[in-house]
């Protein structure tokens, strides 16, 4: 009797049975996941850079400890995700070398500069907000290690968004006019890149259908984007800020906000490597890797030396 | 210059006294001491644990997914191993 592995696999998915690392899976499922999870990991790691930029200049100790904790969380999230990706058969070093060579992508949002303190607020509020919207459904992704990593990530992410919103709120309600203007300026610059984080429109997202069938993805790009906009508009109202979209208005009939046309040309340019900070971000990662080489080597040498010493002790006994 | 990747370690955390250590994930480290220190930073930033075990992944041996039926199916039809299999009078409360 011939058993069709692919059918059995799809049946498991349809019945909400998680796929684990050593289970049979179609090669394309493995590759799709590997690409998505490693990109996600790279995004967390590169995502430390724009905010790391402000740690030494945080306005007070409370903001500083929070920002350090947030950036440290991002390192942690990167590590959870790299571990999940490794279960699919690619080594950590291979993934890093794909990032460093430019072969692997990371979220385009991190190729924008953080020019004022208000950007720390806008990133936490909008970028982390959009990330949460994307990530919550991923906690139910069909691949066990990915879903488990996402559960941890989501638990930690909500502090990120709240600390960002609190920064905005302080600037807007307790700040002077210049500080409020700074908050508005940050919103103006981060709004469109944030809503682009959900990816191309559904009709231009060719891999989405397969990912939905495999339950890697549960909700479409456009649906998530709409959800994000619907929850974010009232949050901007509380801050007294204006979202930079003249077409943004409530549509009673749809029960959603209508919004303006996204400039996908800008998105494509940033993805292609022509964003304001692509080169700088990649250089920072490559430098960190190269400059850390002696540390990695020293730790390996020390571990080997210690193992040898331990072995000697056992023999002597 | 070694081109060697640090080995992978599996991390187990005891959330609080009285509970068993539970697998939480994995990480890379050059040796056991670094593995425990990294596990502290990666997996217990929010008071998730009070004790850490690390085991080099290569030392973990797993059953084959293809053996699942052979290994676990025999338990399926042994409902007499469960208390509800036994029919007792109602007046016999709480046994």
Q: From residue A84, how far is each of A88, A122, A203, B27, B72 by CA, in Å?
A: 7, 29, 30, 10, 26
B31 and A307 in contact by Cβ < 8 A? Answer: yes
CB of B1 within 8 Å of any CB in chain A? yes
- Measured distance CA(B34)–CA(A208) in Å, rounded: 40
CA distance A69 to chain B (A): 9
What's residue A1's pLDDT? 52
Q: Of A52, A42, A44, which is closest to residue A100 (Cα–Cα)? A: A42
Phi, psi of B53 (to 5 degrees): -115, 140
Task: Report residue A133's pLDDT band, with 50, 70 and 90 as the boundaries.
Answer: very high
- Measured distance CA(A139)–CA(A137) in Å, rounded: 5
What's residue A317's pLDDT? 63
Q: From residue A151, how far is each of A7, A90, A134 by CA, in Å?
A: 28, 22, 12
B27 and A92 in contact by Cβ < 8 A? Answer: no
Categorise residue A243: left if φ over 0, alpha if ψ from -120 to 50, beta otherwise: beta
What's residue A312's pLDDT? 87
Mean pLDDT computed over A44-56: 97
What's residue A283's pLDDT? 97
Exposure b/e, B18-28, CB count within 10 A at least 16 = b: eeeeeebbbbb
Look-up of token digits 């390192």: A75
CA distance B87 to chain A (A): 34
What is the average pLDDT value for chain B, to the nearest integer? 92
The residue of chain B with its CA nearest to that of A305 is: B31
What's residue A242's pLDDT? 98
More confident residue, B77 or A315: B77
Q: Give the model confidence (pLDDT) of A277-306 as tens digits.
A: 999 999 999 999 999 999 999 999 999 999
What's residue B77's pLDDT? 85
CB of A311 within 8 Å of any CB in chain B? no
| Interface probe, candidates A92, A96, A144, A154, chain B, greatest B C-beta count within 10 A | A92
Contact of A185 with A113, CB cutoff 8 Å? no
Categorise residue B20: left if φ over 0, alpha if ψ from -120 to 50, beta otherwise: beta
| pLDDT > 90 fraction of chain A, expressed in percent and rounded | 94
User: With contacts defined as CB-CB under 8 Å, which chain B residues touch A83?
Assistant: 8, 25-27
What's residue A310's pLDDT? 87
Task: Report residue A14's pLDDT band, with 50, 70 and 90 as the boundaries.
Answer: very high
Task: Indicate whether A213 pLDDT > 90.
Answer: yes
Task: Indicate whether A147 pLDDT > 60.
Answer: yes
- Measured distance CA(A168)–CA(A179) in Å, rounded: 10
What's residue A2's pLDDT? 59
The strand pairing partners of A256, in sequence order, are: A251
Mean pLDDT computed over A225-231: 98
Q: Give the model confidence (pLDDT) of B12-50 as tens digits.
A: 999 999 999 999 999 999 999 999 999 999 999 999 999
Task: Report residue B1's pLDDT band, with 50, 70 and 90 as the boundaries.
Answer: very low
Tokens matching residue A299: 């730790």
Instruction: List the alpha helices (DSSP H) in A87-127.
Output: 92-101, 118-122
Tokens matching residue B55: 């085991």
Q: Of A288, A312, A228, which is closest to residue A262 (Cα–Cα)? A: A228
The residue of chain B with its CA nearest to that of A93 is: B5
Name all domains of chain B by residue range, CATH numbers in brackets.
8-92 (3.10.20.520)
User: With contacts defined as CB-CB under 8 Å, which chain B residues touch A300?
Assistant: 2, 4, 6, 30
Find the CB nearest B25 among A83, A93, A307.
A83
| Interface probe, candidates A79, A152, A304, chain B, greatest B C-beta count within 10 A | A79
B27 and A79 in contact by Cβ < 8 A? Answer: yes
The residue of chain A with its CA nearest to that of B43 is: A76
Contact of A141 with A88, CB cutoff 8 Å? no
Residue B22, H or E segment: strand B22-28
- Measured distance CA(A20)–CA(A230) in Å, rounded: 36
- Measured distance CA(A265)–CA(A196) in Å, rounded: 11
Q: Which 92-111 residues of chain A touch chain B by CB within 8 A?
A: 92-93
Q: Of B34, B41, B30, B35, which is closest to residue B55 (Cα–Cα)? A: B35
Q: From residue A281, how far is each of A161, A278, A290 by CA, in Å?
A: 23, 5, 14
- Measured distance CA(A220)–CA(A59) in Å, rounded: 39
**DSSP secondary structure, A136-200, as one string:** HHHTT-SBHHHHHHHHHHHHHHHHHHHHHHHHHHHHHHTS-HHHHHHHHHHHHHHHHHHHHTT-S
Of all residues in chain B, what percent are helix, strand and coil, respectively (each to 5)?
Answer: 35, 20, 45
What is the average pLDDT value for chain A, to the nearest integer? 95
Contact of B12 with B55, CB cutoff 8 Å? yes
Which letter does DSSP use for residue A291 in this model?
H
- Measured distance CA(A173)–CA(A192) in Å, rounded: 24
- Measured distance CA(A268)–CA(A285) in Å, rounded: 22
Q: Give the model confidence (pLDDT) of A232-282 as tens digits.
A: 999 999 999 999 999 999 999 999 999 999 999 999 999 999 999 999 999
What's residue A108's pLDDT? 95
- Measured distance CA(A164)–CA(B30) in Å, rounded: 36
A302 and B31 in contact by Cβ < 8 A? Answer: yes
What's residue B66's pLDDT? 87
Task: Report residue B3's pLDDT band, with 50, 70 and 90 as the boundaries.
Answer: low
Least confident range from A8-17, A84-93, B70-79: namely B70-79
User: With contacts defined as CB-CB under 8 Å, which chain A residues touch B8?
Assistant: 83, 86
The residue of chain A with its CA nearest to that of B27 is: A83
């Amino acid at each position: 009797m011939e058993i069709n592995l692919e059918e059995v696999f799809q049946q498991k998915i349809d019945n909400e049975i998680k796929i684990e690392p050593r289970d049979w899976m179609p090669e394309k499922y493995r590759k799709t996941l590997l690409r998505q999870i490693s990109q996600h990991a790279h995004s967390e790691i590169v995502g430390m850079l724009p905010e790391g930029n402000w740690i030494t200049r945080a306005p007070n100790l409370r903001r500083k400890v929070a920002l350090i904790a947030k950036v440290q969380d991002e390192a942690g999230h990167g590590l959870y995700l790299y571990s999940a990706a490794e279960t699919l058969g690619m080594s950590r070093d291979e993934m890093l070398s794909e990032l460093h060579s430019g072969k692997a992508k990371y979220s385009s949002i991190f190729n924008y500069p953080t020019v004022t303190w208000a950007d720390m607020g806008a990133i936490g509020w909008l970028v982390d907000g959009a990330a949460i919207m994307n990530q919550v459904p991923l906690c139910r992704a069909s691949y066990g290690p990915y879903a488990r990593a996402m559960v941890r990530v989501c638990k930690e992410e909500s502090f990120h968004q709240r600390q960002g919103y609190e920064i905005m709120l302080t600037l807007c309600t307790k700040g002077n006019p210049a500080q409020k203007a700074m908050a508005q300026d940050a919103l103006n610059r981060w709004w469109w890149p944030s809503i682009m984080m959900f990816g191309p429109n559904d009709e231009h997202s060719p891999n989405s259908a397969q990912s939905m069938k495999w339950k890697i993805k549960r909700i479409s790009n456009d649906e998530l984007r709409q959800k994000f906009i619907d929850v974010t508009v009232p949050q901007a109202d509380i801050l007294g800020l204006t979202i930079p979209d003249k077409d943004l208005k409530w549509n009673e009939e749809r029960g959603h906000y209508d919004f303006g046309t996204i400039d996908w040309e800008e998105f494509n340019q940033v993805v292609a490597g022509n964003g304001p900070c692509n080169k700088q971000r990649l250089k920072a990662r490559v430098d960190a890797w190269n400059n850390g080489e002696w540390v990695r080597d020293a730790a390996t040498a020390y571990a080997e030396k210690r193992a040898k010493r331990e072995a000697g002790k056992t023999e002597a006994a | 210059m070694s081109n060697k990747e640090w080995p992978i370690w599996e991390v187990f955390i005891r959330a609080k006294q009285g509970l068993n250590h539970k697998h939480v994930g994995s990480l890379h480290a050059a040796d056991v001491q670094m593995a425990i220190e990294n596990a502290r930073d990666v997996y217990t930033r929010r008071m998730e644990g009070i004790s850490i075990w690390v085991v080099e992944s290569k030392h973990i041996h797993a059953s084959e997914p293809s053996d699942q039926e052979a290994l676990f199916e025999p338990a399926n039809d042994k409902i007499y191993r469960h208390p509800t299999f036994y029919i007792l009078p109602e007046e016999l409360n709480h046994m």
